[in-house]
Amino acid sequence: MTTTLSPAPQWELHPQLAADTVPVGDLPLSRLLVNRDANYPWLVVVPRRAGITEIIDLDATDRRQLLDEIELVGQVLRAVTGCDKLNIAAIGNVVSQLHVHIVARRRTDASWPRPVWGAVPARAYEPAELDHFVDTLRHRIGF
Amino acid sequence: MTTTLSPAPQWELHPQLAADTVPVGDLPLSRLLVNRDANYPWLVVVPRRAGITEIIDLDATDRRQLLDEIELVGQVLRAVTGCDKLNIAAIGNVVSQLHVHIVARRRTDASWPRPVWGAVPARAYEPAELDHFVDTLRHRIGF
């Protein structure tokens, strides 16, 4: 069947997000990533929708799905880390591709009580520590 | 009718949030506030639910209502300001009462592209400028 409509643009993970993270798996809407900064257990949820920079520009179905995925990921992250507080944020001033940070904070962490962005230099994980964190998340989420 | 259940704890706006903001009005779930920092058009949405510190601890109905209110407020804020980007965040490391920041960012603002928290000292509004912003929001939202 022919059509005059252009195909929907294809979603690809922004190269800066790809460089800063390791993938955990794909939820129905979003790709789940772990930020390589070992200062905090720091997840990033990226809806696989091309050209979207704001939560309020997702359609209502996608927006509710994103909320459900934030809730799932937040529950798992809190259970796995036993954190004191979650920080959940869509900023996107540097990388405009819509992505939501879900960060497990402790009162003893490197930047408490400041937000994590730009607070202290990133610290690299030990490879085994990062692998263990990703495996734990995959197990708990059921990837 | 008597009952052995304790009454639900009463919600009150946290004194620090009250000191830092002026009220715009009450949406079905949340109180809408304007942050007194004139560096950015900066709104705060506070669900009127006592004892809640995390979005993921709201029940599913309240969580969806909060999302709908964030969407409404975000659309109005973007329309009123013509901003380049919205920053939407639930941090709560200092004031644990659940509150969501919705900040209109411009590439020319005082902290771009950094997040707004702790970036530069707060700047006071001219009273007439603050009144005008609050009136504009009330008119657009229909309070």
Helices A60-81 + B60-81 axis angle, to 10: 120
Question: What pLDDT score was predicted for residue A75?
Answer: 98
Q: How far apart are CA A89 and CA B101, in angstroms?
A: 9
Question: What pLDDT score was predicted for residue B119?
Answer: 82
Report yes or no: A67 and B63 within 8 Å, Cβ to Cβ: yes
Q: How far apart are CA A130 and CA A10, in angstroms?
A: 30
Mutate to test the interface with B, among A86, A97, A105, A116 (most CBs of B within 10 A): A86
Which residues of chain B have a pLDDT value below 50? none
Q: How far apart are CA B4 and CA B130, in angstroms?
A: 47
Contact partners, residue A55, CB within 8 Å, separation at least 6: A63, A66, A90, A98, A100, B70, B71, B74, B86, B88
Question: What pLDDT score was predicted for residue A119?
Answer: 82
Number of H helices, E strands in chain B: 3, 5
Q: Does B128 touch chain A (CB under 8 A)?
A: no
In angstroms, the separation between the Cα of residue A74 and the nearest Cα of chain B is 7
Question: What pLDDT score was predicted for residue B140?
Answer: 97
In percent, the amount of chain A with pLDDT more than 90 equals 92
pTM: 0.94
Q: How far apart are CA B27 and CA A23, in angstroms?
A: 38
**3-state SS assignment for residue A85:** strand
Question: What pLDDT score was predicted for residue A9?
Answer: 81
Which residues of chain A have a pLDDT value below 50? none
In angstroms, the separation between the Cα of residue A94 and the nearest Cα of chain B is 6
Tens of pLDDT, residues A104-134: 999 999 999 999 998 899 999 999 999 999 9
Q: Does B56 touch chain A (CB under 8 A)?
A: yes
Residues of B in contact with A53 (CB under 8 A): 85
Q: Does A81 touch chain B (CB under 8 A)?
A: no
Report yes or no: B102 and B44 within 8 Å, Cβ to Cβ: yes
* Predicted interface score ipTM higher than 0.90: yes
Which long-range CB contacts under 8 A does A60-67 form with residues at least 24 apart? A62/A29, A63/B67, A63/B71, A64/B64, A64/B67, A65/A28, A65/A29, A66/A29, A66/A30, A66/A100, A67/B63, A67/B64, A67/B67
Residues in chain A, total: 143
**DSSP H or E run through B88:** strand B85-90
Q: Where are the beta strands (DSSP E) in A10-90?
A: 21-26, 30-35, 42-47, 85-90
Give me the torsion for CA of A120, B98, A138, A55, rounded to 10°.
Answer: -90
Label the pairing between strands B85-90 and A85-90. Answer: antiparallel
